Structures are given as structure tokens and as C-alpha cells.
Structure 1
Amino acid sequence: MEDPVLYRFCVRAKASPDQPEASRPAFITPYPLTEADAAERFEVLECLQHTAQPLSSVSYVFD
């Protein structure tokens, strides 16, 4: 099985009925996420493909 790939995303908060569209600014996630996690938490505007990192990357191994 292949390791999941993490990306940073251009996103905004998910819409709610009491929040106008103008108050949902777009931002880039401060840390990499899987595509599924990003879609669950935010309204994804764009996946930043150039930020791809495999989950098994040494930067994610903790001692």
C-alpha cells in the first residue's frame, strides 16, 4: 500500500447559514494535510501540488 501524500491547500472556512460569504477569507493551510482531511475541515479552493510530501517523509518521523 502506498503512503498517503500530504499537501498544503488554499482553503476557506466551511460556509454556515449565519456567516456571509465576504467574511470567509481564503488562506493557505499552515501545515500539510491529506486531501480527505482538508475536504473534511475546509472548503478547498486549490491543492498546492508543489508542496507534496509523503507521510513517511523523515520530517514526520518522531523519536
Structure 2
Amino acid sequence: MHHVFRGKEIISATLATIHNERFIVRLVDQMRQALIDGNFAEMKADFLGRYLHRSGQSRD
């Protein structure tokens, strides 16, 4: 995939959009289920722990 973006191929924008939309849809599905299950705070902490750890950011 890196070569597609590096080569500035037009399909790269489409692939990035598909990836980003799927990421958000899955996240919202997980959030909805966590609200139903009554464990949203736990889901949020787990997600932020994984997401911020990958990006090198802190929670503050």
C-alpha cells in the first residue's frame, strides 16, 4: 500500500477514504454496544489506551 500513496496514484485517496470510513463505523458500533452493555467507560479507556499508545500521544 505504501507504494500506492508514495506514487501519488489516484486510487490512494479512495483507499484511504474506505479505510477511514470503516474505522469510524467499527468504532461507533463498538461504542453503541458498550452503551447497551453498560461498559462504555471501560471501552473508552481501552480504546484510548491502544489508540494513543500507537500514535505516541498522552491522554492529557
Select the structure that is richer in helix: 2
TM-score above 0.5, yes or no: no
TM-score, normalised relative to structure 2: 0.23
TM-score, normalised relative to structure 1: 0.22
Select the structure that is richer in strand: 1
